[in-house]
Copies of this chain bind each other. A is one copy, B any other.
Amino acid sequence: MNIYELDTPAVVIDLDVLEKNIEDMAALCRELGITLRGHTKSHKSPEIAKMQVAAGSKGIVCQKLGEAENMARAGLDDILITYNIVGRQKVRRLTELARYRRITVTVDSFAIASGISEQAKLDRVTIGILVEIDTGGKRTGVQSPAAAEELGKQVQTLPGLELRGLMTYPSRVSSKPIIEDVVGRFKKASLSLDIISGGGTGEEWESKELGFTEHRSGSYVYEGLSRIQGSSGNEGLSAERCPLRVITTVVSVPTADRLIIDGGMKTFRLFPSMPYGLILEDPRIKFSGMSVEHGHVDTSESNRKYIVGDKLTVIPTYQEGVTNLHDEIVWARNDQVYRVLRNHGRGKVK
């Protein structure tokens, strides 16, 4: 079946482009001599995670426990969850997961670590731990090398936990003094540094420069060139590097300079900056706005006459957001449907 025969809006992944992105990143990390740990939060797909691992990714990263459960069920192993796991329900789910998969989580406080330890001890499992240090990202993470050292020592005393090293996000060469300080402290205190984990697609070389053992990259899978050339305008969206497309149908042509497609905010996600996305068939037409279920397209610069039923293919500005809105993802090669996947990872925010 041709992808333009699908009911719309349809989310389609071009497998050739996807495979190339996955291979290219793996090759880049091999060249740099840094271990790649593929982040899965952009695509949430075990099938794609397996492609990342097959290309050379050492295990995977998930941002939420529910995403990790989805990956583990599908056969993925060596899973890093870069999120503080808090509360009885979640630590129970975590130890369940650790019964059959190698699990590592990040922590930034004794409260988090001891909560996990209690349940791990009860359930007789081992949870790997990375101490998260804030190197300027101002999100989570301990605030100093001394605090990291203290937390590392505490983790070592807690049953059911295995200290495995350090984690930070994003990787920035400017944070070298902090990193050297904390690494020095860990070494001096004989704390494990098996893993020093950096992250951020496009910052692989910075992790290498900082002496990290591995780097977490994820958005490269879908976003292609947007991350390299900047995503504020069309210039950042290169069709050749973006495997994810949304096929839409023209449902109204009210005037000569406006058409309406059947995808709006609930198809593309409300992105704060224009242009929402690039329309592949005709670079002269542009999104002028979006309502909840309608995409508004300005056709005043185009000579082409559009009619109801025409298909338009959109490369969204923010591809990760689209993945999280749809239940079904279609894989295609040469515009032919190859596989239709249920998007089980979508919405796993718990």
Chain A residues with a Cβ under 8 A of chain B = 7-9, 41, 63-64, 83-84, 86-87, 89-90, 108-109, 111-112, 115, 134, 138-143, 249-255, 258, 260, 262-263, 265-267, 269-272, 291-294, 296, 307-309, 320-321, 324-327, 346-347, 349-350
Contact = CB atoms under 8 A, between A and B. Distances in A.
A254 B106 CA distance: 14
A347 B325 contact: yes
A319 to B, nearest CB: 13
B308 A111 contact: yes
Looking at A249, A252, A296, A324, the one whose CB has the most chain B CB atoms below 10 A away is A252
Nearest to A251: B84
B325 A83 contact: no
Listed from nearest, the 7 A-B pairs whose CB atoms lie closest are: A7-B89, A140-B252, A84-B251, A111-B308, A63-B293, A272-B272, A86-B251
A350 B327 CA distance: 11
A270 B270 contact: yes
Contacts of A139: 252, 254, 260, 291, 294, 296
Contacts of A325: 324-325, 347, 349
Given A266-B349, A307-B111, A87 B7 contact: yes
A324 B7 contact: no
Oligomer copy total: 2
Contacts of A141: 252, 254
Given A108-B252, A266-B349, 14 more contacts: A9-B349, A63-B293, A83-B251, A84-B260, A86-B249, A86-B251, A111-B309, A112-B251, A140-B260, A142-B254, A143-B254, A325-B349, A327-B347, A346-B347
Contacts of A296: 138-139
Looking at A140, A143, A269, A291, the one whose CB has the most chain B CB atoms below 10 A away is A140
Nearest to A260: B140
A89 to B, nearest CB: 4
Nearest to A347: B327
A174 B253 CA distance: 24
13 contacts: A7-B89, A7-B90, A9-B350, A84-B251, A84-B308, A86-B251, A86-B309, A143-B254, A266-B324, A266-B349, A270-B270, A270-B272, A346-B347
A45 B139 CA distance: 35
A11 to B, nearest CB: 10
A140 B249 CA distance: 14
Contact of A262 (B86, B251, B262, B308): B86
A293 B83 contact: yes
Contacts of A63: 292-293
B292 A253 contact: no
Contact of A320 (B9, B262, B292): B292
A263 B347 CA distance: 12
A293 B140 contact: no
A272 B296 CA distance: 18
Nearest to A142: B254
Contacts of A307: 111
